Amino acid sequence: MRALILTNEFPPEIYGGAGVHVDELSRHLRPLIGLDIRTFGNRVEDVDGWRVKGYPPAHDLDGAEERLRPVLAALSRDVSMVADPVGADVVHAHTWYTHLAGLLVRHAYGIPLVLTVHSLEPLRPWKREQLGGGYDVSSWVERSALESADAVVAVSRETREDVLRLFDVPPERVHVIHNGIDADFYRPDASTDALERHGVDPSVPYVLFVGRITRQKGIIHLVRAIRHLDPGIGVVLCAGQPDTPEIAAEMEAGVAAARFDRPNVVWIGEMVSREEVRQLYSHAAVFCCPSVYEPFGIINLEAAACETPVVASAVGGIPEVVVDGETGLLVPVDLHLDDPMVPIDPDRFELNLAGAINALMADAATREVMGRAARRRAVERFSWASIAGTTVDLYRSLVDIRAV
């Protein structure tokens, strides 16, 4: 068995949960089957049945409208990926960025196509702000691929329901395989050098955010909620890569306002290493995930594995990761039907976020119990080895069907 993995992100170029997923899944698939990984990055490797190749855009895009360039660059890379010979039994594409390549491989080489849904374009309308008409292109590519794929992997039960509601995909083709966690790496870390390097005082209990500055992650709502937090609580925002200049400006203004009467707000704007993030998780009193759209939320698992309780919005796949009252607290949020990125009552959502954080911050004993329960559940329920085995079983079932 040999699988062709198509991905936007792959080490060392990882900036989001999908990249973490592909990294961990491929590492655990490697002992089980042969892998050919084609990525947007620059890595090149070819050893022992494991091939990795990065593909730059093959076209000159300087004359294209600026907001269209990322989409056109993705499509250009996709064609290059397919132009190289394919000798796999199954092709597995991650995120819309590689869906066109997956479709072309399926038709050109006659092998089954698997797509993993890490997010869905209809539920991210804010991307029009970032991509303009490119959002219509990415939506078209995603729909075409999902409705043609031999199997669709949803990373949560809620995501499976979204796929069935928004696309014409037979239910039997949509499989739930959760994201996982490397619990050997993500575990409590007593070191504090990373905290000191970034100006975080480990003696001050702090709430932590880790993620990109993007609408779906709800970072602006957390920044606005800071004014409702108890004054002694520290805030650490490990947040970079703003999607647009507009949200970057909102973030800067929000942090400046929060710091006006609170000296204990730390904003780490650059990308940090996994080791540094592990330290930040381990010393946080509470981790906060204020997402308004989150198909799964690997960051919540990472925090849980470091024995940190989580306060998170009760959206998407998050309730499948965070058990309310056991491993953390879930905060309800009602979203507009016509714009699922916008809470109907943002002030109420922000107040409730702050209330949940304040409640846990005031109860160290509960935090300790929740932290231990969170790690135990992460270890028992979200093993990458088990997820890799289930993925190989899916591959084999599709190849067997084609062989009949």
299-357 confidence digits (pLDDT tens) = 999 999 999 999 999 998 899 999 999 999 999 998 776 666 677 888 999 999 999 99
In the chain, which residues fall in CATH 3.40.50.2000?
Answer: 2-180+383-403, 193-381
Stronger pLDDT, 216 or 391, i.e. the higher one:
391
Report pLDDT digits (tens) over 244-285.
888 999 999 999 999 988 889 999 998 889 899 999 999 999
Stronger pLDDT, 171 or 70, i.e. the higher one:
171
What average pLDDT is seen over the chain? 92
Under DSSP, is residue 293 helix (H, G, I), strand (E, B) or coil? coil
Q: How far apart are CA 318 and CA 308, in angstroms?
A: 15
Confidence of residue 41 (pLDDT cuts 50, 70, 90): confident
Q: How far apart are CA 306 and CA 186, in angstroms?
A: 6
Residue 72 tokens, joined:
């056109």
Q: How far apart are CA 207 and CA 223, in angstroms?
A: 11
Report pLDDT digits (tens) over 342-384.
778 889 999 999 999 999 999 999 999 999 999 999 998 888 9
Backbone angles phi, psi at 45, to 5 degrees: -155, 140
Position 403 pLDDT exceeds 70: no
Identify residue 213 by its one-letter amino acid code. I
Counting residues of the chain whose pLDDT is more than 90, the rounded percentage is 72
H or E stretch at 164: helix 157-166
Report, as an integer, the average pLDDT of 205-226: 94
pTM of full prediction above 0.75: yes
Report pLDDT digits (tens) over 98-151.
999 999 999 999 999 999 999 898 888 778 878 888 899 999 999 999 999 999
Under DSSP, is residue 20 helix (H, G, I), strand (E, B) or coil? helix
Residue 389 tokens, joined:
């085995």
Identify residue 8 by its one-letter amino acid code. N
**Can you list the alpha helix ranges (DSSP code H) found in 260-363?**
274-283, 298-305, 346-361
Report pLDDT digits (tens) over 18-28.
888 999 999 99
Residue 266 tokens, joined:
């730390």
Backbone angles phi, psi at 49, to 5 degrees: 75, 15
Position 233 pLDDT exceeds 90: yes
Q: Output the pLDDT for position 282.
A: 97
CATH number of 2-180+383-403: 3.40.50.2000
In CATH, the architecture of 193-381 is: 3-Layer(aba) Sandwich (3.40)
Under DSSP, is residue 375 helix (H, G, I), strand (E, B) or coil? helix
Q: What is the DSSP letter of 131?
A: H
Stronger pLDDT, 400 or 26, i.e. the higher one:
26
Q: Are 132 and 153 in contact (CB under 8 A)?
A: no
Residue 279 tokens, joined:
């330290």
CB atoms inside a 10 Å sphere around CB 141 = 23
Stronger pLDDT, 175 or 15, i.e. the higher one:
175
Q: Are 68 and 128 in contact (CB under 8 A)?
A: no
Confidence of residue 231 (pLDDT cuts 50, 70, 90): very high
Position 404 pLDDT exceeds 70: no
Report, as an integer, the average pLDDT of 141-165: 95
Q: How far apart are CA 112 and CA 401, in angstroms?
A: 9
| Residue carrying structure tokens 């037979």 | 170
Report, as an integer, the average pLDDT of 383-402: 90
Backbone angles phi, psi at 209, to 5 degrees: -120, 135
Report pLDDT digits (tens) over 53-109.
999 998 989 888 888 998 999 999 999 999 999 999 999 999 999 999 999 999 999
